[in-house]
Structure 1
């Protein structure tokens, strides 16, 4: 996977977050990831990690999704149990939409802190109960969101190539699956080389070292990012993950995950598609109006409880 070249380029950078990125990408690029939550964090070593080849088959057999039409991949911090449970009781509970099989999976990194062993045990119990957790051996932090996304892409490419479409969707999102599946089933929606969501054009690279979105010139020398989709939720044909992973061998990693995916997509030679109705991918809807939530595909919410409350109202009989 061109490990040597990427590791060499990483070693030359000195950004405030580069140590975390170096460590996690080294793990990613040496294929020591994609773990089902079956081991304590303290046990993760290159020698003891095992990869259960049949785990995804077990998942889809249990949920009767042998050929999922759409896979929803939710990156989430290990401690965000409330967010996961809110999704499980709302849009993540929808396994069939318009006759198409839909699957929701959560990706977490390593638990950290003084109580990491207890937190890992809790994750394992949650996994046994719900069978929807993937865990990878990188430190789960904001600066490693790019790593998290690339693990998602690699998992989709290697473990779930039979899906038609996939979506990376954040854990604080409302998702209207009826509208999303309608979009994906439309005759003019491409089945290959397709990625759509909330379009981000001509976005400048932040050079202010005090900003959480700071990216050094060493990591990304261009003054503007290529067109990309806002990371809150973007959907893509499932042929793209493999191409994005391949592109990542050539694109130096940086910590703005959605812009990094945009850079990989550009490298592949694919242009993101504006959705037929751009208003269906909204950052915020403002004051609650039921009709707005009936029209959108996705939007950011303020809390897991808000998702539950809005979902109940949207789904109530009229």
Structure 2
């Protein structure tokens, strides 16, 4: 009996030990002295006018609050168009349905705060049959919208996803240096931009209050020095996403990692790759060390785990009601709860159905709209979140 009690008491400790992520002080998270990866890729299409000046006949503001990097493939034009026709309209300065743009008359609590730019990132197809028409089709799309980024020699493949994301961060650094935050997402994810922007605004305000409270413990002279740096410091090292924790390393299958790529048995803390947010300043720091780590094709693990560890980043997890990527059965009224920030596995048709619910709110207010909406408290985890 005593032995059984000891086993039961020791089991939680064993589980904690087995699944404990490694410390960021481990030697592996120190950049190598020699480069391990090249980010030297030329552009086929660079969308360099997206963050400043005039683009496609309309004025765009410099220094957007958020740049949204959408991972896509050249053949997924329908997905890209669905984004442009829905949440991507904000990138063109249009107001979200049912809200007012910042600075317009109306209830301040109902305003769309902040600005955003949406850019589509892609490599080159390895599909021989499609490749013949890819160049012409994308060139026309790029001329029309000015939001397509493609790299020469970057083959469109799962193993290159990490590389595509890193090149996307480099694009923001080079062509949109005034951006405050970067959102990495996929082309089947619908984002409620006003809620995301308000979420970031609240998080920054909370962080500022904490920093100001800390600053009050210093002398008045020292406190004056804080005034100019508080805004820059607030949230400058935080990655937001669906928090995975660590995750046990698999040595076989699609998500395999050899010990040369990652030697520990548990991954560092990281967030789900379908959507996460990081400060642009943090992305620049991560880029500075990215070329000095072994390449890992598990993008969320490498970018939000290994590189985040190397630069001392923190993680903040969205709630399950804000961002539930276990829910793979999205419905038009998913956002009617007033909380949800994003849904995944959204088809082009569903993008437009969701969009209509914002301009026709009554469509989600009836008893029968339950068929189109799953309340947040019923959206329980239904999947095992794996690295991507």
Question: Given the two structures, how large is their TM-score scaled by the length of structure 2?
Answer: 0.66
Q: 1:188 aligns with which of 182, 198, 206?
A: 206
Distance in structure 2 (CA, Å) of the matches to 1:197 and 1:251: 23
Aligned to 2:316: 273
Distance in structure 1 (CA, Å) of the matches to 2:45 and 2:330: 39
> Does structure 2 retain, via aligned residues, the 8 Å contact 1:76–1:107?
yes
Per-residue deviation, residues 261-301 of structure 1 (Å, max 9, x unmatched): 121011101121234x4531210434637255542111212
Give the number of equivalent residue pairs.
280
Distance in structure 2 (CA, Å) of the matches to 1:225 and 1:109: 27
**Does 1:111 find its partner at 2:154?**
no
Aligned to 1:254: 296
Please state whether the residue corresponding to 1:180 is helix, strand or coil.
helix
**Does 1:202 find its partner at 2:216?**
no
Aligned to 1:5: 34
Please state whether the residue corresponding to 2:132 is helix, strand or coil.
helix
Q: 1:235 aligns with which of 277, 297, 300?
A: 277
> Does structure 2 retain, via aligned residues, the 8 Å contact 1:164–1:191?
no
Distance in structure 2 (CA, Å) of the matches to 1:62 and 1:134: 20
**Does 1:85 find its partner at 2:81?**
yes
Alignment of 1:103-142 (within 5 A): 103-114=117-128, 115-137=130-152, 138-142=154-158
- The gaps in structure 1 that reach 5 residues or longer are 8-24, 38-51
> Does structure 2 retain, via aligned residues, the 8 Å contact 1:65–1:103?
no
> Does structure 2 retain, via aligned residues, the 8 Å contact 1:33–1:151?
no
> Does structure 1 retain, via aligned residues, the 8 Å contact 2:238–2:315?
yes
Question: Given the two structures, how large is their TM-score scaled by the length of structure 1?
Answer: 0.80
Aligned to 1:12: none
- The gaps in structure 2 that reach 5 residues or longer are 1-30, 94-100, 102-111, 208-233, 363-388
Structure 1 runs (4+) greater than 3 angstroms displaced? 52-63, 284-287, 291-294
Q: Cα RMSD between the aligned structures?
A: 2.5
> Does structure 2 retain, via aligned residues, the 8 Å contact 1:59–1:131?
no
